Amino acid sequence: MTTIDDIETNFELLDDWDDRYRYLIELGRELPPLPEGTQNDTTKVPGCVSQVWLVSDILPGAPPRLTFAGDSDAHIVRGLVAIALSLFSGRTAPEILAIDAEATFGRLGLQEHLTPQRSNGLRSMVGRIKEDARRAMAEA
């Protein structure tokens, strides 16, 4: 998976937003498919206009570490899922809770170039990821 640092660097290199949208779509194409049967009401992220599914896996430890997989039925949103996964997956629960996703998305220029519906969906994904991290800490 592409790292968030690589994504930020690539966004800086792309001056035109059409090129950035194409890059978002390419990031989405690189997402591995979700395992069979995981696209369901339990994994669906509410608040997204497009369908988005997030699956979290809590790895035991002190503190617990979480990995995420995701998918969407829309190309650009699938790229946004890839960005969210690169930002959060593989980190500990406290690290996830400390990440300022809005600042990262701001550096990428996403707030100015996404529709309000896609921005709301991105916030819903981040909310779901952080909720999973809080739950993992409570269960540890």
To the nearest 10 degrees (0 to 180), the angle between helices 101-108 and 75-88 is 130
Q: What pLDDT is recorded for position 68?
A: 97
Predicted confidence (pLDDT) per residue in 35-61, tens digit: 889 999 999 999 878 999 999 999 988
Instruction: Locate 45 and state its tokens.
Output: 């992220």
Q: Quickly state the pLDDT bin for 115 (edges 50, 70, 90).
A: confident
Structure tokens belonging to residue 17:
């937003």
Active site residues: 48
Instruction: Let me know: does 44 contact 51? Beta carbons within 8 Å.
Output: yes
Domain range 4-139, its CATH number among 3.30.450.20, 3.40.50.300, 1.10.10.10, 3.90.1010.10:
3.90.1010.10
Q: What is the pLDDT of residue 36?
A: 87
